[in-house]
């Protein structure tokens, strides 16, 4: 049995966003934002650019703020779907697939017939 070492190849130190150092060396600074779930995101901005007041958390989508102790609340239009929304979406997905399958079948029948 070849026991796979799945974690091998994980690069340490590479940014999660796949940031890479490019030739251009405009000075940048990192600004920390915290979302209501306590995630910290640290986008970088050009030194002469003003950092935005809030930054959407890349992990959960909630807006993050500069104050770790007082992160902004989730916005009124919740990014998270309710269970019902999920069910509806899944249903319409299935419907769409059925319609597509039907259309394909018809096309195929026409071509062969």
Under the rule (CB under 5 A), what is the footprint of Zn ion?
35, 37, 39, 57, 59-60
39 appears as a binding residue in the annotation: yes
Cα–Cα distances (Å) from 67 to 36, 55, 64, 71, 112, in that order, read: 10, 12, 9, 6, 65
Helix (H, G, I), strand (E, B), or coil: what is residue 58?
coil
Nearer to Zn ion, 80 or 86 (CB): 80
83 appears as a binding residue in the annotation: no
The residues that bridge with 28 in the sheet, in sequence order, are 46
Residue 80 beta carbon to Zn ion: minimum distance, rounded to whole angstroms: 11
57 appears as a binding residue in the annotation: yes
60 appears as a binding residue in the annotation: yes
Nearer to Zn ion, 45 or 58 (CB): 58
Q: Quick one: tokens of 61?
A: 């989508």
Residue 11 beta carbon to Zn ion: minimum distance, rounded to whole angstroms: 23
Nearer to Zn ion, 30 or 88 (CB): 30
Residue 67 beta carbon to Zn ion: minimum distance, rounded to whole angstroms: 15
The residues that bridge with 34 in the sheet, in sequence order, are 40, 65
Question: Could you give the angle at the alpha carbon of 29 between the alpha carbons of 27 and 34, nearest 5°?
Answer: 160
The answer to whether 62 and 74 are in contact (CB under 8 A) is yes
Provide the annotated binding site.
35, 39, 57, 60
């Amino acid at each position: 049995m070849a026991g796979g070492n799945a974690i091998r190849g994980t690069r340490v130190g590479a940014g999660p966003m796949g940031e890479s150092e490019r030739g251009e060396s405009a000075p940048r600074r990192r600004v920390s934002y915290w979302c209501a779930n306590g995630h910290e995101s640290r986008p970088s901005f050009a030194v002469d650019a003003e950092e935005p007041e809030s930054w959407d958390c890349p992990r959960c989508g909630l807006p993050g703020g500069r104050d770790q102790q007082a992160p902004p609340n989730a916005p009124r239009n919740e990014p998270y779907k309710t269970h019902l929304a999920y069910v509806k979406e899944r249903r319409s997905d299935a419907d769409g697939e059925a319609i597509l399958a039907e259309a394909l079948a018809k096309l195929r029948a026409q071509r062969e017939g």
